[in-house]
Structure formats: structure tokens, C-alpha cells
Amino acid sequence: MVAPIILYGAEVWGLYNIKEVDKLHLRFCKTWLGVKQSTPYLAVYGELGRFPFSLLAKQRALKFWIKIIKNLLSPQYQLYNEQCNMNNTEFLAIRVHSIIDHLGFPDVRIQFNENMSYFNLFKARLSDQFVQEWQASINSMSKLNYYVKYKKTFEFEPYLNIISNYMIRKCLTRFRLDSHWLEIELGRNSGTDRESQLCKLCNTNGETEYHVLMCCPKYSTIKSKYLHTS
């Protein structure tokens, strides 16, 4: 119900890589997950398996381009054809050519075949490129060092539906997405060095996700119950 409103007219403006449409989407996603607004947006997209609205807008724009190309007698095609001969990167025709070339399909705009399902090719390539960039980015972010150890695929995480208790689900999500109040996160925000980020409960080691989950003796009873450790 919301996406059609946000993406209204995306057939025209979707080619211009406008990121403002992603802000409302991300705010909603973070609120639904129960994480802080400062949580890395890449982790949010990955946890939900959702693509940015700006990418969906680009899909709509490419679909509209295909519609224009198939109707040679339309005024839209006449305008598009005029723009093809102009050297202005802001024109729709030049923008769409740049995107199609970036996707690796320059032959499509040169030798367009009406019988081919180009939109499915464009849609799949846009998604693949985003996922590849997402994977590379989360692996390079120090803030997500622990997240990448268990987050291997870009998909909706089943636990979000399985855990019906909102508070429990939120706690798990915050722990996974580094949106918690552990010393590793507080120290990162305050500039405290790793050696000084001590666990408040046992006063040893750095209070990281791994320390809380596997090492801290104060959680031994809970770990024994839920992780089946001795």
C-alpha cells in the first residue's frame, strides 16, 4: 500500500539514483526490527532481505523505457529519439543508456528485440549487483565483524517470523545487528580503546558479542540452559 505512493512517477525520476525514497523505508524497517536508527542500513536490508526503494524505482524506469522502445509512433519515443543525439547526461535517454551499459547489456539498446524479455534480465542483474555490493560492504565494515560470521546470504531471516514475542525478537535482532549497549558498541561511539572496554559483570576481557555469548561466567546458568553447555 505504501510503495506505490512512494514510487509514484518513478518511471521518470527512477533513473536519477534519488536516495531520498530510501530514508522512509529504512526508518520503517528499523522501527519494525526494534533497532536503533544508527544501525547500519546494510545490516537492516540484509536481515529483512529487502532491496532499497531507489533500486525498485530504477526497475520501474527501465520497464518504462522498454515500453517506449516498443511504440515507435508514440510522442514519448519521438522525444527519446531526439535526446539520443544530444550530449546531456541529465536527459532520460542518456541516463537509461548509461544504466543499461553498467548492467552489461549495451547490445540491448543497439539491437532491440521485441520478443526478448529484457525486463527480467534487467531486474535480475540489478538485484545481483546490489547483493554483490552488499556482501562486499558488510565484510569491510568493522562494526559488523560479528554479523558477517553468521550472515552469509541476503535473505529474510526466519526467526523474525518464528519468534512471536516482540521483546525477545527485538533483543535478538539488536544483538545480531550490533544495535545493543555492550561496551564494544559504547566504546566505539565514545572512542574508547578496545583494552578499556571491560565487561561490567566480570571485569575481564572486552565486552563483545562473543564474550557475552560464550565467555562471560555471569551468564553460565543461562548458557547451560539454552546453549546446552556445561
Q: How far apart are CA 19 and CA 52, in angstroms?
A: 9
pLDDT at 195: 65
Q: How far apart are CA 164 and CA 35, in angstroms?
A: 17
Stretch 81-110: mean pLDDT: 84
pLDDT at 196: 67
- pLDDT tens string 30-85: 999 999 998 999 999 999 999 999 999 999 999 999 998 888 778 887 888 788 77
Q: Percentage helix, strand, coil, to 5, in the chain?
A: 65, 0, 35
Confidence of residue 222 (pLDDT cuts 50, 70, 90): confident
Question: Given CA atoms 206, 30, 47, 50 in this order, what sign does their dihedral have?
Answer: negative
Domain ranges of the chain: 3-144, 159-226
Q: Beta-carbon neighbour count of residue 79 at 10 Å?
A: 14
Stretch 142-168: mean pLDDT: 92
- pLDDT tens string 108-127: 888 888 888 899 999 999 99
**Residue 73 identity:** L
Is 60 within 8 Å of 14 (Cβ atoms)? Answer: yes
Per DSSP, what are the bridge partners of residue 206? 198
- Higher local confidence (pLDDT), 1 or 176: 176
- pLDDT tens string 163-220: 999 999 999 999 899 888 777 777 676 666 666 677 777 877 677 788 888 888 888 8
Shortest CA distance to 29 belongs to which of 49, 44, 51, 19? 44
Checking if the pLDDT of 230 tops 60, the result is no
The SS3 of residue 35 is coil
